[in-house]
C-alpha cells in the first residue's frame, strides 16, 4: 500500500532533536522570567478576521500565505501565521488591562504560513514570541532587545547583526507615505509586478523587496527617518542611547519595514550571514495602535518573534549533547531473571532512576551491546546462577569495573551510587 507522508513544508521533530529544542525553549523561559515576562499559551486556530485586521489585508501573509478554512459552522478560521494578534486578543478578551495595562507575555509554539518551502523556510515553523504591552517608553524597546541579544549569547549564537529603524507614527507616516508614493510613481517601469501593484496599496513594502531591479530602482527613495515627527525622532534617539548603555552594537537599516502593517516607531531585526537567503533570525517592533485596532483601549505595545528552526541551525551543539542516557540497563537471561528484571526495572523507575531492559529474549552479548549503544552508566547482569545465589554483577560501563551485589539490597545500592555520582 502507498505510504502516507507528511504535508509539504511540515516537518517532524525527531526524538534525537528534541533535546536541543527543549534546551533553547528552557533557556528562553529562564531569561524571560528574569526580565519579568510570563508565559501565555494561545490557540493555534483563530477567527480569520483577527489576522486580517491586525497584520493587514494587503500584506503577503494575509494575501497569499494563510491557511484559511471555512469551518462547519460557516465561519472562516485560520491557522495562526504569527502570535502577536492572538496574544493581544487574549489580553483584551480577559481584560488583562483592567487592573494594570502593563502585561509582559511570551509564548512558544508553531506558526503556519503557506510560503514556498526551502532551506530555513517551512510552512509549519516555530516561534518564540515576546510581547510587552502597556508602555510607550523607549526603555521597553531597549529592554526587549537586550533580552533578545542576551538570549542569543547564552545559546552561543554569534556573528549576528542587530538592525533598527523607525517607521514613525500615525502623525508622520501619512506624509512619508505620500512622498514615497510620489517617488515610486516615477520609478514604476523599473519595479517588479508585485511592487507596481503595491504602489497604491502598500508602498512601504516596496522598500523590503528582495528583487535586484527593485533594490536598484529605489536606491534614492525617501527614508522614513527623514520624515519622522519630533516625538518619534526622540523615541528613536533614546532607544539608541539605551542600547549604547548596554554596549549592544546595532546598525540603522532605513529599508527595514517588516512584513506586517501594525508596526509604529521602532522596528528591528537580527540577521546573520550564515543562513543564506533566509537571513533573519528574529524580528519585531512597536505596535502602538494594534490594541485599539483590535477593539481595546488605546494601549501601546512592543515585541519580537524568534524563529526556532533558524536558531537551531545556528547553535553550535550536536544532537548527542542533549542525549538523556539511561542510568542502568538490566540484562536478564531466562524467564525467572526476566521476571525479576521487570520488577526491579519498574520499581527503580518509580524512584526516579532511568532504567532500560530488553524483553526480546536476546543473548547476554547482544544485551550488553544494547546497553553500550544506549550509553547506560551501569549494567546489571541477571541469570539463573545469580538468582540462585542472590548475588548479581554490576558493571560500570565506562571504567569496566565489575562488582558483586546482593540482589535484595540492589535497589538501595544503585539509588545511592547514582546520588553520589550527581
Our CB check for ligand AMP shows the closer of 121 and 179 to be 121
Our CB check for ligand AMP shows the closer of 277 and 350 to be 277
For the CB of residue 280, give the shortest distance to ligand AMP in the complex, in Å.
Answer: 4
Our CB check for ligand AMP shows the closer of 130 and 291 to be 130
Residue nearest ligand AMP, Cβ-based = 307
19, with CB counted inside 10 A (0-12, 13-18, 19+), is middle
DSSP notation for 93-132: HTTTTTT-S-EEEEEEEEEE--PPPBTTB-SEEEEEEEEE
Query: What is each CA distance from 358 to 192, 351, 363, in whole angstroms?
Result: 63, 20, 10
151, with CB counted inside 10 A (0-12, 13-18, 19+), is buried
Q: Where are the alpha helices (DSSP H) in 246-334?
A: 290-293, 308-312
Our CB check for ligand AMP shows the closer of 115 and 336 to be 115
Which residue shows C-alpha cell 501593484? 197
Q: Name the strands in the sheet holding 67-70, side by side, starting at the edge strand that comes first in the sequence.
A: 45-47, 76-79, 67-70
Q: How far apart are CA 160 and CA 149, in angstroms?
A: 9
For the CB of residue 28, give the shortest distance to ligand AMP in the complex, in Å.
Answer: 14
Our CB check for ligand AMP shows the closer of 78 and 357 to be 78
Residues 103 and 91: beta-carbon distance below 8 Å: yes
For the CB of residue 298, give the shortest distance to ligand AMP in the complex, in Å.
Answer: 24
Our CB check for ligand AMP shows the closer of 130 and 392 to be 130
Our CB check for ligand AMP shows the closer of 106 and 122 to be 122
Our CB check for ligand AMP shows the closer of 260 and 328 to be 260
For the CB of residue 361, give the shortest distance to ligand AMP in the complex, in Å.
Answer: 46
Separation of CA 6 from chain center: 21
For the CB of residue 250, give the shortest distance to ligand AMP in the complex, in Å.
Answer: 16
373, with CB counted inside 10 A (0-12, 13-18, 19+), is exposed
Q: How far apart are CA 201 and CA 83, in angstroms?
A: 24
For the CB of residue 23, give the shortest distance to ligand AMP in the complex, in Å.
Answer: 18
Q: How far apart are CA 349 and CA 298, in angstroms?
A: 54
CA atoms within 13 A on the CB side of 199: 19
Q: Where are the alpha helices (DSSP H) in 262-399?
A: 290-293, 308-312, 335-350, 364-373, 384-389
For the CB of residue 111, give the shortest distance to ligand AMP in the complex, in Å.
Answer: 7
Residues 42 and 90: beta-carbon distance below 8 Å: yes
Our CB check for ligand AMP shows the closer of 101 and 307 to be 307
For the CB of residue 113, give the shortest distance to ligand AMP in the complex, in Å.
Answer: 5
Q: How far apart are CA 389 and CA 77, in angstroms?
A: 68
Q: In this structure, are strands 301-307 and 355-357 parallel, antiparallel, or unpaired? A: unpaired
- Grid cell locating 348: 527503580
Our CB check for ligand AMP shows the closer of 270 and 418 to be 270
Binding site for ligand AMP (CB under 6 A): 82, 113, 115, 121-122, 125, 127, 259, 280-283, 305, 307, 309-310
Nearest to 227 by CA among 299, 186, 282, 178: 178
Helix 173-186 with 193-201: angle, nearest 10 deg: 140
For the CB of residue 276, give the shortest distance to ligand AMP in the complex, in Å.
Answer: 13
For the CB of residue 100, give the shortest distance to ligand AMP in the complex, in Å.
Answer: 27
Our CB check for ligand AMP shows the closer of 143 and 309 to be 309
Amino acid at each position: 500500500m502507498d505510504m502516507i507522508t507528511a504535508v509539504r513544508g511540515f516537518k517532524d521533530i525527531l526524538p534525537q532533536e528534541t533535546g536541543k529544542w527543549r534546551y533553547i525553549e528552557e533557556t528562553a523561559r529562564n531569561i524571560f522570567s528574569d526580565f519579568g515576562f510570563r508565559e501565555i499559551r494561545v490557540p493555534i486556530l483563530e477567527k480569520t478576521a483577527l489576522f486580517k485586521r491586525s497584520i493587514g489585508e494587503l500584506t503577503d501573509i494575509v494575501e497569499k500565505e494563510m491557511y484559511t478554512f471555512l469551518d462547519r459552522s460557516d465561519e472562516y478560521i485560520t491557522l495562526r501565521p504569527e502570535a502577536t494578534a492572538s496574544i493581544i486578543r487574549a489580553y483584551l478578551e480577559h481584560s488583562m488591562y483592567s487592573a494594570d495595562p502593563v502585561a509582559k507575555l511570551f509564548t512558544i509554539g508553531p506558526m503556519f504560513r503557506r510560503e514556498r518551502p526551502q532551506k530555513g523556510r517551512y510552512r509549519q515553523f516555530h516561534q518564540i514570541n515576546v510581547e510587552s504591552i502597556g508602555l510607550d517608553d523607549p526603555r521597553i524597546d531597549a529592554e526587549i532587545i537586550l533580552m533578545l541579544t542576551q538570549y542569543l549569547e547564552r545559546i552561543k549564537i554569534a556573528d549576528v547583526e542587530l538592525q533598527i529603524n523607525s517607521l514613525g507614527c500615525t502623525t508622520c507616516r501619512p506624509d512619508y507615505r505620500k512622498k514615497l508614493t510620489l517617488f515610486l510613481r516615477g520609478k514604476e517601469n523599473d519595479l517588479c509586478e508585485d511592487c507596481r501593484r503595491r504602489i497604491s496599496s502598500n508602498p512601504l513594502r516596496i522598500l523590503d523587496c528582495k528583487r535586484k531591479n527593485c533594490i536598484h530602482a529605489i536606491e534614492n527613495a525617501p527614508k522614513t527617518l527623514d520624515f519622522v515627527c519630533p516625538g518619534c525622532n526622540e523615541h528613536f534617539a533614546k532607544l539608541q542611547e539605551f542600547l549604547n548603555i548596554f554596549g549592544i552594537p546595532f546598525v540603522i537599516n532605513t529599508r527595514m519595514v517588516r512584513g506586517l502593517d501594525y508596526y509604529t516607531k521602532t522596528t528591528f531585526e537580527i540577521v546573520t550571514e550564515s543562513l543564506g537567503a533566509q537571513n533573519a533570525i528574529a524580528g519585531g517592533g512597536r505596535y502602538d495602535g494594534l490594541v485599539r485596532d483590535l477593539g481595546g483601549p488605546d494601549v501601546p505595545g512592543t515585541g519580537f518573534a524568534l524563529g526556532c528552526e533558524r536558531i537551531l541551525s545556528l547553535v553550535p551543539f550536536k544532537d548527542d549533547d542533549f542525549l538523556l542516557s539511561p542510568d542502568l540497563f538490566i540484562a536478564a537471561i531466562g524467564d525467572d531473571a526476566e521476571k525479576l528484571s521487570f520488577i526491579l526495572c519498574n520499581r527503580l523507575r518509580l524512584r526516579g532512576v532511568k532504567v532500560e531492559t530488553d524483553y526480546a529474549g536476546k543473548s547476554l552479548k547482544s544485551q550488553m551491546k544494547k546497553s553500550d549503544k544506549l550509553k547506560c552508566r551501569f549494567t546489571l547482569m541477571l541469570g539463573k546462577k545469580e538468582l540462585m545465589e542472590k548475588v548479581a554483577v554490576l558493571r560500570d560501563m565506562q571504567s569496566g569495573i565489575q562488582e558483586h551485589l546482593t540482589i535484595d539490597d540492589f535497589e538501595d545500592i544503585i539509588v545511592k551510587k547514582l546520588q553520589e555520582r550527581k
